[in-house]
Structure 1
Amino acid sequence: MYNLYKSLIVSILTILLLTACSSKSVEQTDNGKKEINLLFNFATSSLDPNVDTSYVSLRAGITETLVHLNDETLKIEPWLAESWSSKDGQTWTIKLRENITFQNGNPMDGVAVKASLERAMKDSIAIKNALRIESIEADANTLTIKTEVPFPEFPSELVHPNTSIIDITETDFVKKPVGTGPFAVSSFTPGTSVDLIRYDEYWDGAAKLEKARFSFNEDANARSLALESGGADVVFRPEVESLENLEAIEGVTVESTSTFRVHQMTMNLQRKPLQNINVRKAMDALINRESIVDTILRGHAEVATGPFPSSFTFAPDYLEKQTGIEVAREFLRKAGYEEVAGVMKKDGEPLELTLLTYSARADLPLIAQVFQSDAGQLGINVIIQQIEIPEEYMAANRDWDLTTYSNLTAPRGDAGYYLNATYHPNGALNFSGADDDKLTSMIDKLNTTVGQQERSDIAEKIASYVDEQVYNSFILHPNTLVAYNSDKVKNWVTSRSEYYMLTNELDVY
């Protein structure tokens, strides 16, 4: 009875909140200004583009990077940089576009970009490791960048949102970064929303919208309800269960787009049980991928056999694996475990695992619960622990065994980003703690290799090796789900990279 009353109270509060949001939306529309509200699934407490892992500043059109990813061709193209070239893959000449200003009117020139990149490397060890820059020289609108080693794919690293160019003379990076994008920050409420106003002098043509709000809610059901009530105009990753209801609403469009993302089970190799490859194989065998895709994602995903979607040339043809409870039991037997009175033990010690998950991606906690149930059938006690910001928690703590985690694996159409970030000892996303000399050597070879086919061949070998070692388990490639009011919103494009959202072309009818 208590739970029933609690549910009713939550429902009433939700309705009141959404009604208030709806009223505000109508009021804003009535004032004649062109504006929209985009509701995102990750909250952020900082707009600092060089360290924020939610990439809000880029997604909200506040900042831009030197290099842009073309979602159609999966090739990089000029953005703030007009061109780049290198004779040896180590010394790079980057020509910046001319006559671009930051949102405070200051020029975006070589000196400003140099200072911005240096600040990014100083404040983010991940960016420092990714860019591997030894020196930067600025002369008017030309940068000369030397990397620590020959690095043929260096320009593709400049797509990363954390390399966004900002005016570092404006020092309120957390609340009001000043970039070159079509929208400037009007106000920011950490964890709630950022309000934006059009920057009229935007170099690629002033935005069609006069204002925009980029708001946050990590509850997928609340995001869906916000679109239904009119409290939001565009909703990123609405609740899967609500899609049929949303599609039935006149004027609402739901898009399900394949992306470069993978849901994976990250394994902490510093934990003793998972140092045994047969235990890792057992964990992998327990994952019922087809069932998860059909029931939790309702078919809006592709079963993953590795980190990269099968459409990429560097995705290997994996051997078919045996999966299921009995297969997992046999792997555990090889690892020295036996089931005693319904409990999986080794040397008298029960097998207990701490599994991290987070609610910003609503399907991940559900995957964790399914895994917990299946592992329980083998006598394995899986303790689920909810966290808020997975990257921060996994980097700072080693008291966990597994994490249901979601990661972009090829956002630049190249395997180098994911393999470096996830499996190189210096990788920013190497939460598993992988430190394998053979694997590191292969990645280092990839980093100095020129030519797409040659790089694909090496990347394929690395992906196969990672699969053999079961350093992580790959569950599925989820589609990007976006629902929006197509009676109001014009020119919305669902980006496969998930980087580009509020653009100068976005408009309202």
Structure 2
Amino acid sequence: MKNYFTIATLLVLLSLLGACTSTPSAEPETNTKHLHFLYNFSTNSLDPHVDTSYVPLRAGITETLVRLDEENLTVAPWLAESWESDDGQYWTIQLREDVTFQNGKPMDADAVKASLERALEENVALQNALKIDTIEADGHTLTISLTQPFPEFASELVHPNVAIIDVTEPDIVNHPVGTGPFKLTSFTPGSKLELERYDNYWDGASPLDTVTFAFNEDANARSLALESGQTDIVYRPEVESLETLKAIEGIKVESTGTFRVHQMTMNVERESLKDVNVRRAVDALIDREAIVESILLGHGQVAEGPFLPSLPFAPSYPPRESGLDAAIAHLEKAGYTQQDGVMQKDGEPLTFKLLTYSARADLPLIAQVFQSDAKRIGIDVEIQMIEIPEEYMAANRDWDLTTYSNLTAPRGDAGYYLNATYHPTGALNFSGTDEPELTAIIDELNQTVDQDKRAALSQQAATYVHEQMLNSFVLHPATIVAYNADKVQHWVTTRSEYYMITNKLDVN
């Protein structure tokens, strides 16, 4: 596939000079400790309350009240020291008293209240997720009343969109001021952030002086940037380049299982996909084993549902019917027949518009494999590349399918994914799901405290999704990170994918 290496590589390297490293004026002084990080998603806004790339948190600018303890799959204190509620509806949160924003202002309850209220005002999805009615501030104590009992409220505060910022700053979109170990010095939308150490960071100042957090959605370009020494850490390098990277002295490649699933999101508001048999046919057409081996080169595992099988709230599923014959059988139940090589019903051919995006390099390849297999039974699939899937799917309903990637248990609980993806008010309910039986299960889950009962309800919801084939799940990808281990110290590839640039990172 790479006979064009000489010319293509030269062109990519030239583009990298502009896209990743920018101008010489951004070069750090030789006597400073500098880290260059290259990420796969770009963003044009750093407003932490609405940014779907979560860059402010990942870049170490902002923090949330609580964070995920990935080892124990529980929530742990961060900007909040403690939280408690007797009934799940009225909450008291005690804040740390030694935290300041990067402009030197103290982070007290009034500041946190203002930040939370702005987040609710700017992000309707947060309103639905947090269920906050009123917030009262007193010193370093917050008293929050919810619209209904919600035992898992504290876990929702892990979400990067609930990050705490100083809302009195004039330009939150381009220059948010948070409480993290690094403060922003410049932002080039779609290209990079320049950061410098915040010396008064409450958890200890970073040993790094400066950090460049750059973007490039081309996986091959990211790999070449590490090979050429233009960057120190690459998030999700090109899978085909891994053996080349491993062969370079000093380069370390890490492949870590995450809480993520690649799924085929189905727009159930489209006429053909209203029929569960058509949705089951779509599912049967997905050759999961071949995709894991040929596209991810084994860096992932076949998905049976949204949750990793090892999680306590993942149900057991019956054996899956897959392959072309199974897909045809499902379509016949829906009234379709093959005529002159075309799958049709009442004289109308079955076609799908399939959305995909390049920021996750494997998703367009999955789309192409599906397109090829669908063609074999007479289904025409039109692939459309989009940039920001969440924005496009929410604003447009002219599509049938999307290869999409989602964190399904970033807080060690099923509630986040089920609420966001299948509740009628969910922020990620792009399929248009509105199933009263499923909604009732999720509503009950939201008010259940006992972990065994929560697991049972989560399994019940996931089983319902499977039976109705509201979306189709392809694989659980590993997060792959490659970095210069001779230079970079204390990098951790997290399962949640939230915490990247921390005050522990260092360079030789």
Name the TM-score class by shorter chain: over 0.9
Aligned residue pair count: 506
Cα distance in structure 1, aligned partners of 2:296 and 2:464: 29
* Conserved 8 A contact 1:93-1:144: yes
Letter matched to residue 371 of structure 2: Q
| Counterpart for residue 99 of structure 1 | 98
User: Is 1:193 aligned with 2:192?
Assistant: yes
User: Is 1:14 aligned with 2:1?
Assistant: no
**Per-residue deviation, 1:13:** 2.6
| Counterpart for residue 493 of structure 1 | 492
* Conserved 8 A contact 1:266-1:405: yes
Cα distance in structure 2, aligned partners of 1:15 and 1:37: 16
Cα distance in structure 1, aligned partners of 2:44 and 2:320: 42
Structure 1 residues 98, 23: CA separation in 2 closer, same or farther (over 3 Å shift)? closer
Structure 1 residues 423, 211: CA separation in 2 closer, same or farther (over 3 Å shift)? same
Cα distance in structure 2, aligned partners of 1:34 and 1:214: 14
Structure 1 residues 185, 293: CA separation in 2 closer, same or farther (over 3 Å shift)? same
**Per-residue deviation, 1:16:** 3.1
- SS of residue matched to 1:479: strand
| Counterpart for residue 330 of structure 1 | 329
User: Is 1:367 aligned with 2:379?
Assistant: no
- SS of residue matched to 2:81: strand
Letter matched to residue 135 of structure 1: T
**Per-residue deviation, 1:283:** 0.2
**Per-residue deviation, 1:8:** 6.3
| Counterpart for residue 318 of structure 2 | 319
Structure 1 residues 138, 114: CA separation in 2 closer, same or farther (over 3 Å shift)? same
Q: Deviations over 1:378-421 (max 9, x none)?
A: 10000000000000000000000000000000000000000000
Q: What pairs up with 1:35-114 in 2 under 5 angstroms?
A: 35-114=34-113
Structure 1 residues 208, 119: CA separation in 2 closer, same or farther (over 3 Å shift)? same
| Counterpart for residue 175 of structure 1 | 174
Cα distance in structure 1, aligned partners of 2:104 and 2:28: 29
**Per-residue deviation, 1:17:** 4.3
Letter matched to residue 15 of structure 1: L
**Per-residue deviation, 1:123:** 0.4
Letter matched to residue 369 of structure 1: Q
Cα distance in structure 1, aligned partners of 2:123 and 2:63: 17
* Conserved 8 A contact 1:25-1:231: no
Letter matched to residue 408 of structure 1: L
Q: Deviations over 1:155-192 (max 9, x none)?
A: 00000000000000002111100000000000000000
Letter matched to residue 397 of structure 1: N
* Conserved 8 A contact 2:13-2:225: no
Structure 1 residues 169, 291: CA separation in 2 closer, same or farther (over 3 Å shift)? same
| Counterpart for residue 354 of structure 2 | 355
* Conserved 8 A contact 2:47-2:176: yes
User: Is 1:233 aligned with 2:203?
Assistant: no
| Counterpart for residue 213 of structure 2 | 214
Structure 1 residues 19, 345: CA separation in 2 closer, same or farther (over 3 Å shift)? closer
Cα distance in structure 2, aligned partners of 1:408 and 1:493: 18
Cα distance in structure 2, aligned partners of 1:77 and 1:160: 13
* Conserved 8 A contact 1:39-1:214: yes
- SS of residue matched to 1:413: coil
**Per-residue deviation, 1:127:** 1.0
* Conserved 8 A contact 2:28-2:210: no
* Conserved 8 A contact 2:357-2:386: yes
| Counterpart for residue 502 of structure 2 | 503
* Conserved 8 A contact 1:217-1:223: yes
TM-score using structure 1 length: 0.97
Cα distance in structure 2, aligned partners of 1:434 and 1:45: 30
Cα distance in structure 2, aligned partners of 1:369 and 1:12: 27
**Per-residue deviation, 1:15:** 2.6
Q: Deviations over 1:143-164 (max 9, x none)?
A: 0001111000000000000000
* Conserved 8 A contact 1:110-1:143: yes
- SS of residue matched to 1:16: helix
Cα distance in structure 2, aligned partners of 1:137 and 1:346: 59
* Conserved 8 A contact 1:183-1:198: yes
**Per-residue deviation, 1:25:** 9.4
TM-score using structure 2 length: 0.97
* Conserved 8 A contact 1:69-1:76: yes
Structure 1 residues 47, 339: CA separation in 2 closer, same or farther (over 3 Å shift)? same
Letter matched to residue 345 of structure 2: K
| Counterpart for residue 147 of structure 1 | 146
* Conserved 8 A contact 1:22-1:230: no
* Conserved 8 A contact 1:19-1:229: no
* Conserved 8 A contact 2:64-2:160: yes
* Conserved 8 A contact 2:281-2:330: yes
Structure 1 residues 400, 216: CA separation in 2 closer, same or farther (over 3 Å shift)? same
Q: Percent identity?
A: 65
Q: What pairs up with 1:216-365 in 2 under 5 angstroms?
A: 216-365=215-364
* Conserved 8 A contact 2:301-2:476: yes
Cα distance in structure 2, aligned partners of 1:51 and 1:393: 15
| Counterpart for residue 477 of structure 1 | 476
Q: What pairs up with 1:128-139 in 2 under 5 angstroms?
A: 128-139=127-138
| Counterpart for residue 126 of structure 2 | 127
Cα distance in structure 1, aligned partners of 2:105 and 2:29: 35
Letter matched to residue 282 of structure 2: M
Q: What pairs up with 1:459-474 in 2 under 5 angstroms?
A: 459-474=458-473
Cα distance in structure 2, aligned partners of 1:89 and 1:131: 12
| Counterpart for residue 433 of structure 2 | 434
Q: Deviations over 1:356-388 (max 9, x none)?
A: 000000000000000000000010000000000
Structure 1 residues 22, 249: CA separation in 2 closer, same or farther (over 3 Å shift)? farther
Cα distance in structure 2, aligned partners of 1:245 and 1:179: 39
**Over aligned residue pairs, what C-alpha RMSD do you find?**
1.7
Structure 1 residues 217, 19: CA separation in 2 closer, same or farther (over 3 Å shift)? closer
Cα distance in structure 2, aligned partners of 1:448 and 1:477: 29
* Conserved 8 A contact 2:84-2:91: yes
Cα distance in structure 2, aligned partners of 1:126 and 1:432: 16
**Per-residue deviation, 1:22:** 7.7
Cα distance in structure 1, aligned partners of 2:246 and 2:71: 26
* Conserved 8 A contact 2:37-2:214: yes
| Counterpart for residue 453 of structure 2 | 454
Cα distance in structure 2, aligned partners of 1:329 and 1:358: 28
| Counterpart for residue 410 of structure 1 | 409
- Runs of at least 5 residues in structure 2 that lack an aligned partner in the other structure: none
**Per-residue deviation, 1:12:** 2.3
Q: Deviations over 1:53-87 (max 9, x none)?
A: 00000000000000010111111000000000001
Q: Deviations over 1:77-129 (max 9, x none)?
A: 00000000001100000000002110001110000000000000100111111
Cα distance in structure 2, aligned partners of 1:175 and 1:34: 25
* Conserved 8 A contact 2:354-2:383: yes
